[in-house]
Copies of this chain bind each other. A is one copy, B any other.
Amino acid sequence: MTRASAGEPGADDGDSVVYDLAAECTADDVEHGQAYLAAINGIVDYGVFVDLSESVSGLVHESVLEGTYGVGDELVVELEAVRDNGDMAFEPADVGDDYAVEAVAHDYSLTGTDRLEATIGDQIHLEGEVVQVKQTAGPTIFHVADEYGVVPCAAFEEAGVRAFPAVEVGDVVRVTGTPEHREGSVQIEVDGLSKLEGDDAEDARERLAEALEARAEPHDVEPLIDWPAFEKLRPNLQEVAKLLRRTVLEGRPIRVRHHADGDGMCAAVPVQIALQRFIAEVHEDENAPRHLIKRLPAKAPFYEMEDATRDLNFALEDREKHGQQLPLLLMLDNGSTAEDVPAYETLSHYDIPIAVVDHHHPDPEAVEDLLDAHVNPYLHDEDYRITTGMLCVELARMIYPDITDELRHVPAVAGLSDRSKADAMSDYLELANEEGYDDERLQDLSEALDYAAFWLRYNSGDQLIQDLLQIDSNDEERHRELVSFLADRARDDVDVQLDAAMPHLEHEDLDNGAHLYRIDVENYAHRFTYPAPGKTTGEIHDRKIEETGDPVITVGYGPDFAVLRSDGVRLDIPQMVTELEEEISGGGVSGGGHLVVGSIKFVKGKREEVIDALVDKMEDAEIDEALSSAAPIDD
């Protein structure tokens, strides 16, 4: 009961106080031993009926009454008894004529979504923001987020008819209703739901915002290893963790798009599972983890217009059908470059925030305005050697620290997948070794992941990848066998590919002393199978480095593309592409990469000219034995 002034000094001293219940007060607002203003609304043989508020009324028995009464008369009463059936009996209160009247407002004390289990079956009040409005064939389900979580509130107007049509996503509301178990979750059966307005809304919003701000705060976890280079990126990563946690708290769905290779998987799966667990914690609806996050490999090494159009289309349909908010897009191991801009700009016309964690060479000035968060080692004078998987394991831990024990081996796998030469690799390997993953298994795992990703094409393959990575999975024997089997298959397929390709390798000694190897992967490698052209070129390159011990450049070309790898030679591929674009009219040249790794596209008919020009430039490239191309190549 909230007394307007009951708690203030002097309010209850002196003579008597008679309380005047507000119309909306309920039986819960009535206390024993207090006097209340009542109005007589009926007279019977055995007493009079009195009203204390709209819903509080009861009998004053004739045995305790004196005098005569008329309907409408005032009477000061106190509670005598509450019968088992809820009927209330009152008796006249002895307050004399001299009493102070105090207004009593209904006690709307709020129950947070963290205390619903304890109030199952009782009517409660709740304030929060509407984050989804789903019209079902029966009730309308309002998902309401308060300071503690998100709960579905079922309001029934008429079957299939929108209840409270004025209330929309984004409104702050007060819900009166009864928490019930429903389909394995808690759901509130709504008795009343009203939109807060003016100051009330303002206050509630402020309170919710503060709580959300606090709750979104990522966990302050110690990195798995001590690594100065990583420290530079940590604050950025914490921002992303906060953004993602906030997104979950706001009930907004998350769509993860990631590079379809080993490092991409090592990045996306931990974050996906961490988010699913956090969603399960926040949302009373047990289906929320499944409905609110979807992971999909990207079709290309950048975010294609086709993928963006499809994602937008699905998002709009989900909004239409399920009243969901539009999603946040999380790009992992992908998304930092100018090639992503058209897709981002398409989404920017809708309320779809975008966050990127990537370690490919970025074009910050092109993407920055379009992103809500961007983590990339190049933005901090680091490079691809800090792989996205390494970053995302820490990100997953910031979101949901309890996942840590399942992830200790993952950064090593991520690093091996992208052949990272980071100085932290030895620590990561050691960490994984301590978990029982020896170097061979880790290497196998990275090959197996890459191989599985290739055959899964554009499917997420959740369970299979979790079995492979042994996250949220528990059959270690199968994990081991599967890993070594797929790794062997991957290697066999590489051997078959190289058996076909190696005899066709063209060799040239460049003026600068480096070896140049060219391979026509369209004509001398099997198509549409593993390994794809990028990986095929990389494998050839690696063998030649080992074989020669000298600086090596390898070019794998198809009808309208070439992939480049260089070790010991400073190529500066972005510069080369820019020059080729200018020099070769009608070449349709585009491409990217960084110093020693990259790919170039051109129109089929200009292939020879483009590649000849490219090789000319390589002749003059500076030898720099420190430079290594052990970096991610996108197929």
- Taking beta carbons and an 8 Å cutoff, which residues of A are in contact with B? 137-138, 158-161, 181-185, 286, 305-306, 308-310, 312-313, 316-317, 319-320, 342, 345-346, 349-350, 452, 455-457, 459, 461-464, 467, 478, 481-482, 485-486, 489, 496-497, 499-504, 520, 522-527, 530, 560, 585-588, 601, 603-606
B462 touches A317 (CB 8 A): yes
A588 touches B320 (CB 8 A): no
The winner among A308, A310, A464 for most chain B CB atoms within 10 A is A464
Q: Pull 17 A–B residue pairs with CB atoms less than 8 Å apart, ordered by A.
A: A160-B182, A306-B455, A309-B456, A310-B456, A313-B456, A316-B462, A316-B463, A345-B485, A350-B478, A500-B587, A501-B586, A501-B588, A501-B603, A503-B585, A504-B586, A504-B603, A520-B605
B160 touches A586 (CB 8 A): no
Contact status of A349 and B586, CB under 8 A, knowing A463-B313, A523-B603? no
Contact of A349 among B158, B183, B312, B481 (CB under 8 A): B481
**Distance of A581 from chain B, by nearest CB (Å):** 9
B461 touches A309 (CB 8 A): yes
Contact of A342 among B320, B489, B606 (CB under 8 A): B489
**Distance of A124 from chain B, by nearest CB (Å):** 20
Bound: A464/B185 CA distance, A:
34
Contact status of A504 and B183, CB under 8 A, knowing A309-B455, A452-B309, A456-B313? no
Bound: A582/B374 CA distance, A:
53
**Distance of A342 from chain B, by nearest CB (Å):** 6
A604 touches B137 (CB 8 A): no
Beyond A161-B184, A306-B457, 4 extra complex contacts between A and B, CB < 8 Å: A159-B184, A160-B185, A319-B463, A504-B586
Residues in B with CB closer than 8 Å to A310 are 456, 459
Bound: A184/B135 CA distance, A:
10
A346 touches B181 (CB 8 A): no
Residues in B with CB closer than 8 Å to A138 are 183
A305 touches B455 (CB 8 A): yes
Nearest 7 CB-CB pairings of A with B: A160-B184, A503-B586, A523-B605, A500-B588, A316-B463, A137-B183, A309-B455
Residues in B with CB closer than 8 Å to A482 are 349
Residues in B with CB closer than 8 Å to A586 are 499-504, 524
**Distance of A293 from chain B, by nearest CB (Å):** 15
A463 touches B603 (CB 8 A): no
Residues in B with CB closer than 8 Å to A496 are 588
Bound: A346/B448 CA distance, A:
11
**Distance of A19 from chain B, by nearest CB (Å):** 42
Q: How many copies does the complex hold?
A: 3
Contact status of A158 and B181, CB under 8 A, knowing A313-B461, A316-B464? yes
**Distance of A517 from chain B, by nearest CB (Å):** 14
Bound: A595/B415 CA distance, A:
49
Contact status of A159 and B137, CB under 8 A, knowing A457-B306, A485-B346, A527-B560? no
Residue of B nearest to A560 (CB): B527
Residues in B with CB closer than 8 Å to A342 are 489
Residues in B with CB closer than 8 Å to A320 are 463
**Distance of A503 from chain B, by nearest CB (Å):** 3
Contact of A605 among B309, B349, B524, B601 (CB under 8 A): B524
Residues in B with CB closer than 8 Å to A485 are 345-346, 349
Residue of B nearest to A590 (CB): B496
Residues in B with CB closer than 8 Å to A527 are 560, 604
Residues in B with CB closer than 8 Å to A456 are 309-310, 313
Residues in B with CB closer than 8 Å to A312 are 464
Residues in B with CB closer than 8 Å to A525 are 588, 603
**Distance of A522 from chain B, by nearest CB (Å):** 6
**Distance of A194 from chain B, by nearest CB (Å):** 23
**Distance of A71 from chain B, by nearest CB (Å):** 30
Residues in B with CB closer than 8 Å to A137 are 183-184
Contact of A317 among B463, B497, B502, B560 (CB under 8 A): B463
Bound: A126/B504 CA distance, A:
70
Residues in B with CB closer than 8 Å to A604 are 522-524, 527
Residue of B nearest to A342 (CB): B489
Bound: A230/B420 CA distance, A:
60
Residues in B with CB closer than 8 Å to A500 are 586-588, 603
Residues in B with CB closer than 8 Å to A286 are 160
Bound: A176/B525 CA distance, A:
64
**Distance of A337 from chain B, by nearest CB (Å):** 16
**Distance of A427 from chain B, by nearest CB (Å):** 31
A478 touches B588 (CB 8 A): no
Residues in B with CB closer than 8 Å to A459 are 309-310, 313
Residue of B nearest to A157 (CB): B184
**Distance of A516 from chain B, by nearest CB (Å):** 19
Bound: A222/B191 CA distance, A:
51
Residues in B with CB closer than 8 Å to A158 are 181, 184
B605 touches A504 (CB 8 A): yes
Residue of B nearest to A290 (CB): B321
Bound: A502/B486 CA distance, A:
45
Contact status of A524 and B603, CB under 8 A, knowing A309-B456, A496-B588? yes
B526 touches A603 (CB 8 A): yes
Contact status of A526 and B605, CB under 8 A, knowing A161-B184, A181-B158? no
Residues in B with CB closer than 8 Å to A309 are 452, 455-456, 459, 461, 464
Bound: A320/B473 CA distance, A:
12
**Distance of A97 from chain B, by nearest CB (Å):** 51
Bound: A463/B349 CA distance, A:
13
Residue of B nearest to A160 (CB): B184
Residues in B with CB closer than 8 Å to A524 are 586, 588, 603-606
Residues in B with CB closer than 8 Å to A181 are 158-159
Residues in B with CB closer than 8 Å to A316 are 462-464, 467
Bound: A349/B349 CA distance, A:
47
A588 touches B452 (CB 8 A): no
Residues in B with CB closer than 8 Å to A489 are 305, 342, 345-346
